[in-house]
Amino acid sequence: MAFSEKQRKIFRFPYTDYDAIICDGAVRSGKTSIMSLSFFLWAMGNFNNCAFAFCGKSVGAVERNIVTPLLSIVYLQQNFDIRYNRGGHVIIARRGKRENRIYLFGGKDESSYTLIQGITLAGVLLDEVALMPRSFVEQALARCSVAGAKFWFNCNPENPLHWFRQEWILKAPEKNALHLHFLMDDNPGLDEATRQRYKHMYSGVFYQRYILGQWVMSEGLIYDMFDQTENTYREPPPAMKSTSTRYIACDYGTSNPTVFLDIYDDGECIRIDREYRWDSRKERRQKTDQEYADDFMAFMGDDPCTVLVDPSAASFIVALRQRGAYVREADNDVLDGIRKTGVLFQRRTLLINENCAGLLDELGTYMWDDKAAMRGEERPVKQQDHGPDALRYLVNHLPDWRFE
């Protein structure tokens, strides 16, 4: 393996006077892999009978991102006796008479929080630290009381007001931390095809963060890549493969509007053909679940399809199922749904019929909540977001490979 200059700095870090290292930046830029290898060599070269920690978002994430890749490195297999005890979430590593243990913790796993409170550590690696609760990270750092202990952090950029940037990256000199900023070019193992594949997975603020490696605020229009001409069509609808699948996505409200979107997906291109919308405030009349379910059946017609519904709309889901509709509760992951929807708009593979006026209006005013962003939180403004919500339910239902 050849290493980039920045990666070599990770290998040199343990032998400098720095107490901590922070690697932030783009995805796939070679942070985690080199950091975990350097950490392992440092731990085994300088300590005996000590405990260390590998922390990630969850124990499963640490197994996937750190343990499995580390155990597959031939050099380590040839020079160390390394065993991973899956039940105990611990790596036991030996070389000659020397033995150390590296425990796995998940910042979002309830059990990890109590377990890490009792342990004494000689070093901790926090992988994707910006995704962990601050209290967990501080607890992990507080456990590092062995002389010569060091902190190892890595993450992708988030909101610039994120506590980890404020407390660690901006204060790196006073914390005596070495800060290295990574881009995909710092990973010599990345071929051009992979680099392009990742570039196509992000757009908007997510592109700036995960590809350009910038800590930027989510602000303004969410779908700024949406184009009034390129992302819309007029009747007759553009041709699709004959094997297309139909869906109806529903966002349900009682005092807020209820929206149904009629969707055709041919595996490549997605068309939003029609919308149904009832705004009880505008109409000055609320509809019951039974009335909405009747409207829905009329909207669907005699070509039944998978129906993706707002998971919080329990009573409406019951009413639809009573009428024989095949309902799936939608995945309501907001940020991931927005990221994926942005990718499809950017590629012009998500097209909306111009007659879906309500949806088009809402997409044009779907904004990031600037006030929430100032508190380091990321979310859209909660108003006129019913069409975009329904659209997200459809997009979150598609398999991951559609966004690569």
Ligand X SMILES: Nc1ncnc2c1ncn2[C@@H]1O[C@H](COP(=O)(O)OP(=O)(O)OP(=O)(O)O)[C@@H](O)[C@H]1O
The residues that touch Mg ion, with contacts defined as CB under 5 A, are: 32
Q: Which two tokens stand for residue 50?
A: 């000590």
In angstroms, the CA 376 to CA 88 distance is 35
Give me the least distance between CB of 127 and ligand X, in Å please.
8
How many other C-beta atoms are found inside a 10 Å radius of the C-beta of residue 384?
19
217-246 residues in contact with ligand X (CB under 6 A) are: none
Which one of Mg ion, ligand X, none is in contact with 30 (Cβ closer than 5 to 8 A by kind)? Answer: ligand X
Which one of Mg ion, ligand X, none is in contact with 398 (Cβ closer than 5 to 8 A by kind)? Answer: none
- Write the binding mask 26 to 65 for ligand X: x where contact by CB under 6 A, - elsewhere: -xxxxxxxx-------------------------------
How many other C-beta atoms are found inside a 10 Å radius of the C-beta of residue 244?
15
Binding residues for ligand X, total number by CB under 6 A: 19
Which one of ligand X, Mg ion, none is in contact with 29 (Cβ closer than 5 to 8 A by kind)? Answer: ligand X
Which one of ligand X, Mg ion, none is in contact with 103 (Cβ closer than 5 to 8 A by kind)? Answer: none
- Write the binding mask 138 to 177 for ligand X: x where contact by CB under 6 A, - elsewhere: ------------------x---------------------
3-state secondary structure of 183: coil
Task: Quote the radius of gyration of the chain (alpha carbons, Å).
Answer: 25
Beta bridge partners of 298: none
**Residues in CB range of 100: below 8 A, 6 or more apart:** 43, 44, 47, 48, 49, 50, 51, 52, 92, 93, 122
Site for ligand X (CB under 6 A): which residue of 188, 220, 304, 364? 188
Q: Do you know the residue count of the chain?
A: 404
What is the DSSP secondary-structure string of 214-262? ------SBTTTT--TTTTEE-SSPPP--TT-EEEEEEE--SSS-EEEEE
CA-based max dimension of the chain: 79
Site for ligand X (CB under 6 A): which residue of 38, 100, 139, 187? 187
Q: Counting beta carbons within 10 angstroms of the beta carbon of residue 331, is it exposed (0 to 12), middle (13 to 18) or buried (19 or more)? A: middle
Which one of ligand X, Mg ion, none is in contact with 100 (Cβ closer than 5 to 8 A by kind)? Answer: none
Stretch that binds ligand X, among 187-195, 247-255, 333-341, 388-396 (CB under 6 A): 187-195
In angstroms, the CA 252 to CA 292 distance is 9
272-301 residues in contact with ligand X (CB under 6 A) are: none
Is 358 near ligand X (CB under 6 A)? no
Stretch that binds ligand X, among 24-32, 76-84, 107-115, 255-263 (CB under 6 A): 24-32
Which one of Mg ion, ligand X, none is in contact with 258 (Cβ closer than 5 to 8 A by kind)? Answer: none
Give me the least distance between CB of 48 and ligand X, in Å please.
28
Where along the sequence are the contacts to ligand X (CB under 6 A)? 1-3, 7, 27-34, 69, 156, 182, 187-190
